[in-house]
Amino acid sequence: MNKRLKVSTDELKTCLFVVMYRDQSPGENVMQYYQHLIASLAGKENKPHERVVELLKYKGMGETRKAIETWNMPRFPISGKDLLEMNVKKGPVFSKALGELRRRWIESDFQMTREELLDTIGEVLSDIRS
């Protein structure tokens, strides 16, 4: 289809993204919903910030779009090096632990510090292994 319409792969992925998320309700805190969406897709989805902006254009949410365009996602305070220093070996557990720490950080509205996240690593690892 994209050859017939001469749509780039990136444009096609953006269209599919909009179709996938267009009917999802952001709830009461609209800005927070879209910030969390961007953060949860970072690293998994190419250009999540730009795709969310396109979604907001589609939904006619001009003010939220402007706010999201200027929003800079905070830097995730944990790196793989931190987990390696805590004797977490590379592999599936490592990957899941890093993902769970990222999820907790996003749920805290980007407020959890590096130390607070590292304090939860024991709990995270036991949850993953059980």
Each residue's pLDDT tens digit in the chain (130 positions)?
Answer: 555 778 888 999 999 999 999 999 998 999 999 999 999 999 888 899 999 999 999 999 999 999 999 999 999 999 999 999 998 899 999 999 999 999 999 999 999 999 999 999 999 999 988 7
Same domain for 9 and 63? yes
Q: Which of 16, 108, 24, 7 is nearest to 61 (CA)?
A: 24
Do 58 and 90 share a domain, yes or no? Answer: no
Q: Is residue 106 part of a domain?
A: yes
Instruction: Confirm whether 34 is domain-assigned.
Output: yes
Q: Which tokens go with 66?
A: 């402007």
19 belongs to a structural domain: yes
Q: Give the predicted TM-score (pTM) of the model.
A: 0.86
| Domain assignment of residue 110, given as a range | 80-129
